[in-house]
Amino acid sequence: MQELPPAQYTWGGLYPRDTATREVKSLDGIWNFRLSPKDDPDKGFREEWYSAPLASSGDVIAMAVPSSYNDVTQDKDLRDHVGWAWYDTFFMTPRRWLEDGERVLVRLGSVHYSCVVYVNGVAITAHEGGHLPVLADVTLAVKPADQANLLTVAVNNVLTNETIPQGEIQYKTDETIHCCVTAVFFACAIKYQYMRCISLVIIPKVDLLILFNCPTGVLNFTIDYVAAAGVTDLSCSVDVFDANMSSVAHADACQGTITISNPQLWWPYLMDPKPGYLYTLRASIKAADGSLVDQYPIRVGLRALSWGATGISLNGKPLYIRGCGKHEDSDIRGKGFDPALVVKDFSLLKWLGANAFRTSHYPYAEEIMDQADAEGIMVIDESPAVNLRTFDETLASRHSEVMRELVRRDKNRPAVISWSLANEPRSYQAAATSYFANVSASTRAADGTRPLTAAINAQYDVDLAAPSLDVIWVNRYYSWYSDTGHLELVQQQVVTDLTRWYNKYNKPVGVSEYGADAVPGLHMDPAYTWSEEYQMQLFLGNFAAFDELRGSSVVFMGEMFWNFADFMTQQGRKILIYFSLFSYFSRKIKIRSTGRAGGNKKGVFTRSRQPKPTSFLVRDRYLNLASGKQSPQESCRWFKSTP
């Protein structure tokens, strides 16, 4: 494969918005699309598919952007593809953009996992890492305004031991197991490929970065800019507006502190009659003659976050997290952004009485994060580091880079109350100690205003990540992945487990995942695995445990069920078994079990967002917790099987 261009930017820049100095043109829509052959993945580079429209070099199909290509067609090979895929489309550059001498950029909200961006056959930039934005300056590559420009994006979803998340590819050639078929392609831990929204943007010849911290009533701000050659004698100003866009503060400086009189604080949902209150901070850069060079608005929430051995507090009040883990996932669109789905999901979160979610297991689209800010839904912002199985300096460096990109993207968001470094790392390995110490240190250097955490599934006596974390969340599936069917054990096991974590570290603890799969419409009494009754009773057992912990000496900071809605997965679940063939040799192999019935069914809503009975249990509990009333345990006895 040809040598790839370096990344032009170390982060994805400010979210594309129309302002007095910036203009945005959406490139979302239906693009042309083609897969590279799995037995010749570099064919597109060798034959230079980027040098002309894809349709001129072979067959193409239509593909929606944004979307996951895996979910769109009836082609099994496309659904299961691992390797390079190619997209292209045409765009026009408005004449005024070129005449005014502005910079023209392409911004991709996310491409999973790595990509190369071409304009008119010129390789502009390459980027590694899904879920975070990619920025490319294409000013020198675009054609005159009366000519169409070809935008080509090569995308690769292959994961390795050195990517975040990790993954592997295995080629199976053993005919004793695979019959007469050789070189069977087999992939493990591959995440779906997807592209988020793509925009064409013009911005002035200034790179702008706005950072702020908002203690109660005080706004500390910093405006960093890098001007192009020849752009000098610039000055900054800041204006703050309330929700009605009435001016409440002004400062002529690139760095400073603004005090807002009688501030309206940012509160989570159900903690205040006006949750999610946002001001607007407008940063302006002007030339020496007073002319406007650049201007950009950011929505600001005033809130003070603190944490320690006694828990997490917001604006001086203790927080109790009532939430869930989610996924960016829906029918047809897969992980593609859908504004109607965002509105629906936040409506359902509020119907449940939830005040938080975790971006399991990767950063979510910026539009989702915007809505969390506006609705007053708190977010535990998680990196894509899922199921890390090895720990070395190379991976730690990559992991730290991902965290810096994530912090730069989301640091200004009031909804983000914690950074989650990983989900279910194999943190019992000796190398995990220094690994998480290093990643934690680099993340705190990027932002020390939020506690660090991870969703841990190792046991308290072997885990080596927790010493580097500020608060501890654990994933626990008692009576599902362990002691399956023994619902009577849930309460005791959860209480014992969380108490041990707290006693060892004296840090706030919480449950970040618990749950059971439930096939919609499957009813069995007495409750049986996969039935809706089993899911309900497992939740009730966890509720009882949480109430016991809340009344104990343990600093129990919250509960988050898994999952908000059913979601698509690879077929089966990877497990490790000892395989014996013909009784004369044995080997340890990884296989995929048939433990996924049309995907993961642990949602309290279906993939199409219809409620399962468990959602009503959660709603009763969360609304009662929010109002300070008695837990609804006793009122829900009718859900339980007859003794």
Taking each helix axis from N to C terminus, what angle separates 432-446 and 393-410, rounded to the nearest 10 degrees? Answer: 30
Nearest to 355, CA basis, from 371, 379, 339: 379
The Cα–Cα gap between 449 and 368 comes to 22
Query: Would you please indicate which residues are annotated as catalytic (active-site) residues?
Result: 424
452 φ, ψ (degrees, to nearest 5): -95, 145
The Cα–Cα gap between 137 and 103 comes to 7
Q: Where are the alpha helices (DSSP H) in 32-126?
A: 43-46, 76-79, 95-99
Cα-trace Rg, the chain: 26
Q: In what order do the strands lie in the sheet with 23-26?
A: 23-26, 198-203, 103-108, 134-137
The Cα–Cα gap between 590 and 538 comes to 29
Give 582's contacts (C-beta < 8 A, 6+ positions apart).
none
Q: Are 307 and 471 in contact, with CB atoms under 8 Å apart?
A: yes
Cα 249-255-260 angle, rounded to 5 deg? 25
Strands (E), 301-412: 305-308, 311-314, 317-318, 321-325, 356-358, 378-382
Nearest to 334, CA basis, from 79, 611, 605: 79
Q: Are 350 and 357 in contact, with CB atoms under 8 Å apart?
A: no
Q: What residues form DSSP beta bridges with 207?
A: 226
Cα 584-588-594 angle, rounded to 5 deg? 110
The Cα–Cα gap between 500 and 505 comes to 9
| Exposure string for 501-520, b = 16+ CB within 10 A, e = fewer | bbeebebbbbbbbbbbbbeb
For residue 308, the one-letter residue type is G
The Cα–Cα gap between 453 and 463 comes to 13
Burial label for 408, CB within 10 Å (0-12, 13-18, 19+), is: buried
Q: Are 282 and 392 in contact, with CB atoms under 8 Å apart?
A: no
Q: Are 153 and 88 in contact, with CB atoms under 8 Å apart?
A: yes
Residues in the chain: 643
CB atoms within 10 A of CB 200: 23
For residue 335, the one-letter residue type is K
For residue 47, the one-letter residue type is E
Q: Where are the alpha helices (DSSP H) in 479-562?
A: 490-505, 532-550
